[in-house]
Every structure is written in C-alpha cells, then in structure tokens.
C-alpha cells in the first residue's frame, strides 16, 4: 500500500479536457483506416486483438458521460495520486465488457462516434469540482479526466506496438499529464529524496529513502524519455530490458528502480 503522505500536482482542467478529446480523435482517425487483418492482429494485452483494444478506448472516453449521468457521490474516496495503485489492484478486470461490445457487432466508428456525442452532451456543462462515481470510488471530474489521459496514452502505445509503422501520434498535453501522474505515483510509492528521476521535458521527482540532496547534481539520478517511463511504470517493459537497450541512464548506488516497477499494470 502507498504511504499515507501524498504528493499533489495541479493540472489545468481546460487543457486536460482538450488533451483527452485530441488524443481520442487522433486514435479514431487511425483506427478508421485499418484493414480487417490489422483489426484482427494480436496485441500485448492478453487475448485482446486490435479491434478489442480500440473498443476499450471507446469505453475509456464513454465512462466520462456514464459517470456524469450517475448520481454524484457524497465524498472523494480516490485522490488522484491513489488512482494508479487502484488500477494496479484491478488489473485484468473489464475484459468481458470489451468482448461483449465486439461480439455485439457494433462497428468501431459507430462506437467512437457515440462516445464523442455523449461527451459533447454531458461534459461542457459539468463543473470540474463535480464528483463522479469511478469504479474505485468518488473522484472529482477534473481528477478523473487526468486518468483518461493515462488510459488513452498507454493504450495508444499498445496500438502502435501491435501495428508497427502505424505511429499514432501523442497529444503533448496528454503525454505530459500521463508522464507526471505516473512519476508522482513513484514518489508516493517510495517517498524520500535520495534518487532524482528525470523524464524530460515533463517531470522530475525525488524518491527512495536515504540521504537527501539539496543543491547541485544529486548522487543518484535516473533519466529516461516519456514513453520509456510510461512503459516501465505500466509493465510494458522491464527495468533490465530498458537498461540493456540504453533507454534509461542510471547513476549512483541507489539508482536501481527495478524493485519499484511497475507502478500499475
């Protein structure tokens, strides 16, 4: 369990809403051009095909309207910094829902269009402070929208992995929010100041108990790029594999994060 003391970061709700819409629209355009053979291709997500992965992404966005239609919870039960840990404990859930949607025979573009239409109906008039009943408990709408950037960015990367050459782009704001939330989750999981983790240009956090540096170059530094960090944090790659591929630099005797990763999977 993560420690009681949490790290917090502020996100601009207007930018987050725009980022979620932009990433979803980009994925929709990419999926619309796929052939039946590409849609049937396997992914790294168990028995999900590309079609099922795409269907899941419509659920990621559709959950916003669904929760806004539901009664407002009485209190916040899931602070944003706790969400990655809740997701990790719920790994594997939701497969049956995705299979059911695909088996129902609804076309993917229809699913994408429906999710966008429902979002347009429900989101513009909803206050950022409104509470929504996420599957883990009450969250503010603003925080829940940040979690949508994580789902969309991580699964866009899954889509690109399944279909080499597809290269679906990442919205900059969505990629930044995803990177920052997962970096802050590491700092929550392993509080301290002996290791500095840098994910330029989006995040720098300190973590791991031990001697804390206050100025200059810290003795223990980990640095990587945003997508590698996201793959490490979500179990899409391992610390050893990323180090072997020179995708991570780590200096200092405490700069081995292998035992702390993944954060969510």
Spans of all domains in the chain: 13-173, 176-260
Is 22 buried (19+), middle (13-18) or exposed (0-12) by CB count in 10 A?
middle
Q: Could you give the 3-state DSSP secondary structure of residue 167?
A: coil
**Percentage of the residues of the chain whose pLDDT score is greater than 70:** 88
Kindly report, residue by residue over 63-115, the tens digit of the pLDDT. Answer: 999 999 999 999 999 999 999 999 987 655 555 576 666 655 569 999 999 99
Best CATH choice for the domain 176-260 from the list 3.30.1050.40, 3.40.630.40, 3.40.50.620, 3.40.50.1980 = 3.30.1050.40
Q: Encode pLDDT of 48-76 as tens digits.
A: 999 999 999 999 999 999 999 999 999 99
What pLDDT is recorded for position 210? Answer: 81
Residue 29 has pLDDT above 70, yes or no: yes
Average pLDDT over residues 204-229: 85
Pick one of 1.20.120.450, 1.25.40.10, 3.40.630.40, 3.40.50.300 as the CATH number of 13-173: 1.20.120.450
pLDDT per residue over 232-254, tens digit each? Answer: 999 999 999 999 999 999 999 88
Residue 145 near residue 168, CB atoms below 8 Å: no
Rounded average pLDDT over 34-52: 96
């Amino acid at each position: 369990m993560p420690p009681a003391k949490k790290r917090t970061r502020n996100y601009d709700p207007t930018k987050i809403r725009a980022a979620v819409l932009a990433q979803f629209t980009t994925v929709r355009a990419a999926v619309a051009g796929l052939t039946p053979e590409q849609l049937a291709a396997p992914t790294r997500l168990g028995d999900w095909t590309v079609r099922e992965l795409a269907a899941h992404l419509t659920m990621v966005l559709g959950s916003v309207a669904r929760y806004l239609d539901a009664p407002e919870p009485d209190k916040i039960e899931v602070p944003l910094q706790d969400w990655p840990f809740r997701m990790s404990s719920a790994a594997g859930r939701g497969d049956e829902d995705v299979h059911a949607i695909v088996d129902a025979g609804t076309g993917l573009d229809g699913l994408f269009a429906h999710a966008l239409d429902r979002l347009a109906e429900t989101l513009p008039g909803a206050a950022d402070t409104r509470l929504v009943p996420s599957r883990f408990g009450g969250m503010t709408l603003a925080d829940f929208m940040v979690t949508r950037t994580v789902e969309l960015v991580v699964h866009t990367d899954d889509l690109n992995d399944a279909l080499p050459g597809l290269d679906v782009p990442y919205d900059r704001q969505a990629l930044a929010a995803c990177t920052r939330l997962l970096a802050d989750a590491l700092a929550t999981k392993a509080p301290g100041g002996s290791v500095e983790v840098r994910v330029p240009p989006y995040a720098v956090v300190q973590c791991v108990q031990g001697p804390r540096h206050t100025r200059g170059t810290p003795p223990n530094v980990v640095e990587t790029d945003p997508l590698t960090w996201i793959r490490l944090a979500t179990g899409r790659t391992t610390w050893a594999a990323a180090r072997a591929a020179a995708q991570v630099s780590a200096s200092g005797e405490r700069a081995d994060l292998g035992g702390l990763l993944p954060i969510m999977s």
